[in-house]
């Protein structure tokens, strides 16, 4: 097949006898031989792997992971692409989603984020599957099959140290290794196969916890890590328990917080709403900017994240934290006369959705920052905001996930009239 443009999801579009085929392990402009992996003739589309390259792209490079090719680990989409070209592909995807779903033509540049080694050695949180013999591995693409590994090249060096020190974890379903930026030893979170706690290997300097039905059970050390963030003169150390959400690239938080602060330009005394607040990262930075004469309300649905946020923000009395679903909290707060000068949204991959977008628009803030890990969800919500009088005034995109198709965006929206 002759390969066409890149598509959302880590593959490119090709056609065989008029039928669309989404092909992995290739690049636009290449001619490749494809093995079909999913679908049948007559389906709306097929999926396939490029198993032989007949005419390579100049952006093609040798893979730096032995299990990243066809039939291998599904963690990396672009191991065969130079890092500069990867950012170009991601920019194409963001641009196309905004054009198709929001009817906007936006010049997109995906910015490099400091903290990796040419796309490797950055992932500070790695969720390992465990093979039947107890060996650490990662999942095959779109499969539950486990591909055994020695170490993962995109993993942070301190994660790789654990992989090498303890390659076997019998009696477990998954093993997550967390290498915090706070300088402490790594945390290993284990999910056992059954009800009985397995015998866990000792890893020097590492804390170990077991994920149980009633929460996290500490085995050795602590069940949480302290993550350090610095943006300009502002810095904070934030507690994150277990597998709680946190950006996995060492430079991601500084890039995203910096983009949010630059876009919103918070002023002393302003009222700020931080939605999907997690453990309080944006709330802490915004609270410092608006000062004690201002106020920040953080809203988060995860009970554990709320507990962490309360610990992280207890020295900022002008920052409030409310637990609950964002749409339900906003509905109640709007009934009680909530106002906001600024809003930050950092929703899950599925996006904020129409209900929350309408609630935020009803507040009529002077500006809002939308942090998105999925370009399609971002484009849909941007289109909804446009219909409610808020236009996209700035977009920055960051390569927080090298070697993969994922990209983080920070969109600034402001009233159009």
Active-site amino acid positions: 373
Cα gap 207→189, rounded to integer Å? 9
Segment (H or E) for 7: strand 3-7
Count Cβ atoms below 10 Å from residue 117 Cβ, excluding itself.
Answer: 11
**What is the DSSP secondary structure assignment for residue 8, as one 8-state letter?**
T
Is residue 176 within 8 A of residue 170, CB to CB? The reply is no
Q: Name 14's bridge partners.
A: 3, 21
Q: With beta carbons less than 8 A apart as the criterion, state whether 81 and 11 touch.
A: no
Planar angle of CA 7, 58, 68, nearest 5 degrees? 60
Is the backbone of residue 29 left (phi > 0), alpha (psi -120 to 50) or beta?
Answer: left
Angle ∠(111,113,119) on CA atoms, nearest 5: 105
For residue 56, give Cα distances in angstroms to 52, 62, 79: 10, 12, 14
Q: Which long-range contacts (CB under 8 A, 24 or more apart) does 10-13 make?
A: 10/77, 10/78, 10/404, 10/405, 11/47, 11/77
State the Cα–Cα distance between residues 77 and 335, nearest whole angstrom.
46
Give CA separation, 314 vs 1, 279, 345, in Å.
Answer: 59, 12, 22
Q: For 207-351, where are the E strands, in sequence order?
A: 207-212, 215-220, 224-231, 234-241, 271-275, 295-300, 319-323, 342-345
Burial class (CB in 10 A: 0-12, 13-18, 19+), 139: middle
């Amino acid at each position: 097949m002759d390969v066409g443009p890149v598509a959302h999801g880590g593959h490119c579009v090709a056609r065989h006898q008029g039928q669309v085929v989404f092909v992995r392990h290739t690049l636009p402009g290449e001619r490749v031989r494809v093995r079909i992996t999913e679908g049948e003739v007559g389906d709306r589309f097929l999926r396939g792997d490029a198993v032989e390259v007949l005419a390579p792209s100049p952006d093609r490079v040798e893979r730096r992971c032995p299990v990243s090719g066809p039939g291998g680990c599904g963690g990396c989409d672009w191991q065969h692409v130079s890092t500069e070209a990867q950012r170009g592909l991601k920019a194409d995807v963001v641009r196309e989603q905004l054009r198709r779903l929001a009817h906007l033509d936006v010049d997109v540049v995906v910015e490099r984020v400091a903290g990796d080694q040419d796309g490797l050695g950055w992932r500070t949180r790695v969720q390992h599957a465990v093979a039947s013999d107890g060996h650490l591995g990662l999942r095959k693409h779109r499969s539950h099959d486990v591909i055994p590994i020695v170490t993962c090249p995109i993993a942070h060096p301190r994660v790789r140290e654990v992989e090498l020190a303890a390659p076997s974890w019998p009696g477990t379903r998954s093993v997550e290794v967390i290498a915090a930026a706070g300088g402490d030893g790594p945390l290993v979170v284990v999910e056992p196969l059954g009800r009985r706690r397995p015998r866990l290997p000792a890893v020097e300097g590492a804390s170990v916890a077991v994920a149980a039905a009633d929460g996290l059970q500490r085995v050795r050390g602590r069940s949480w890590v302290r993550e350090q963030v610095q943006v300009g003169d502002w810095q904070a150390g934030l507690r994150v328990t277990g597998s709680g959400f946190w950006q996995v690239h060492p430079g991601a938080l500084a890039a995203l917080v910096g983009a949010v602060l630059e876009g919103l330009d918070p002023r002393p005394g302003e009222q700020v709403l931080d939605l999907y607040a997690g453990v309080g990262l944006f709330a802490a930075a915004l609270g410092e900017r608006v000062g004690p004469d201002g106020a920040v309300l953080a809203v988060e649905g995860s009970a554990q994240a709320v507990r962490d946020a309360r610990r992280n923000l207890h020295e900022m009395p002008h920052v409030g934290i409310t637990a609950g679903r964002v749409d339900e909290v906003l509905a109640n707060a709007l009934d009680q006369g909530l106002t906001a000068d600024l809003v930050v949204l950092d929703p899950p991959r599925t996006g904020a959705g129409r209900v929350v977008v309408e609630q935020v628009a009803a507040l009529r803030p002077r500006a809002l920052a939308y942090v998105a890990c999925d370009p399609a969800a971002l484009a849909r919500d941007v289109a909804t905001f446009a219909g409610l009088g808020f236009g996209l005034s700035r977009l920055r995109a960051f390569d927080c996930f090298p070697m993969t198709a994922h990209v983080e965006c920070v969109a600034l929206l402001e009233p159009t009239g």
